[in-house]
Amino acid sequence: MDATPIPPRDAPLLAVAEQLTLIARRLVAGALAGLHASLHPGRSDEFSQYRAYQPGDEPRQIDWKLFARSDRYFLRESDVDAHVAVALILDATGSMEHRGSSAHEPRKLDGARAMAAAFALIAQNQGDPFELHTVGGGEVGSLSTAGCREPFRRVIHRLASLEPRGRWPADPTHLARALHQTRNSRGSAGPAVTRQLTVLLTDGHEHDDEIRAALASLRARRHEVLFLHFIARDECEFPYQGPVLLEEWETGRTLEWEASAVQQHLLNAGQSSRQAWSRAWGDSNFDYLPVFSDQPLERCLRTVLRRRMRH
């Protein structure tokens, strides 16, 4: 068998991809210990329930016999037919370079892409369609896995190549259009989808409410949104003393201050921002979870799965 050597420039990328794969497998194995391995209710061959038709549902899921009797649209759901289309949205803007004051804390981007890899692995294991959208440099990069023999591997290689840069697109519809186009690329092939789950992995840093505006357009389409908020420990404690140089990652602006003069202001601003995100939408279609960079990601993933098991 003839083997083609790996070009030197690709070797570091492959090393990161292999490391991400290993991390994802460990995360999933650890989080699923004692839990059902699903992002949605457990599957069986038995009928589960009816639910009312909602805009965006597949018409082929309508129970037409029940419609003939009731003149109302209902979907007949059985867990074996329940597939969740998972859209992973990864914030790769400049602020995701932040790693906090402790040497052992990873960059926010590293934690976020490890979690994205874990969700992709779970979705692949369940046979659920999934896609990846990366935001950075004022653009949205979309990766569809429709028709791929190894969708998880394809996503891993895209995640491994990411580096933080720039900011969110100023146009809030940019992300919604990317999601729509990628979803249309799936066509009618693959499993019937009964639910849409959008997983946003971000530090919530925005200039003009562009993340909120992007989420609002998803909410208008009745997407179920899981918001994973990546937070460095120094954003909660600000353990600095003396003169400090504050840099705005996405614009490069810097300010020099005395730590004691700005500490309380920055801590209050951070807390207010986290509280605002956590109560952004108070209903069952929006789930918020803070992810602190000095805590095990496995704990976060387990929390997510436990919450979804209760849905």
Q: What is the pLDDT of residue 152?
A: 94
Extract the residue ranges of the chain whose pLDDT is less than 70: 1-9, 33-51, 54-58, 60-61, 67, 76-82, 103, 184-194, 220-222, 282-284, 310-311
Distance CA 87, CA 79 (A): 20
Are residues 151 and 27 part of one domain? yes
Rg (CA), the chain: 21
Q: Measuring CA to CA, which residue among 116, 155, 112, 164 is closest to residue 137? A: 164
Q: Is residue 65 part of a domain?
A: yes
Are residues 260 and 302 part of one domain? yes
Which domain range does residue 71 map to? 47-81
Are residues 51 and 19 part of one domain? no
Cite the DSSP H helix spans in the chain: 11-31, 64-70, 108-126, 151-160, 173-184, 210-220, 234-237, 259-278, 297-309
Model confidence pLDDT, tens digit, residues 199-230: 999 999 988 888 888 888 777 666 788 999 99
Q: How far apart are the first and last CA of the chain?
A: 51
Q: In this structure, what token pair is assigned to residue 253?
A: 């602006």
Q: What is the pLDDT of residue 191?
A: 57
Are residues 97 and 51 part of one domain? no
Distance CA 163, CA 96 (A): 9
Q: What is the pLDDT of residue 6?
A: 43
Distance CA 299, CA 35 (A): 13
Q: What predicted TM-score, i.e. pTM, was given to this entire model?
A: 0.79
Are residues 55 and 170 part of one domain? no
The 8-class DSSP code of residue 102 comes to S
Distance CA 170, CA 276 (A): 21
Residues 6+ apart with CB under 8 A from 104: 294
Q: Is residue 3 part of a domain?
A: no
Model confidence pLDDT, tens digit, residues 266-293: 889 888 888 888 887 766 678 899 999 8
CATH number at residue 265: 3.40.50.410
Are residues 75 and 60 part of one domain? yes
Distance CA 127, CA 85 (A): 10
Domain boundary pick from 57, 81, 105: 81
Are residues 101 and 116 part of one domain? yes
Are residues 95 and 127 part of one domain? yes
Are residues 239 and 96 part of one domain? yes
Q: Is residue 193 part of a domain?
A: yes
Are residues 246 and 99 part of one domain? yes
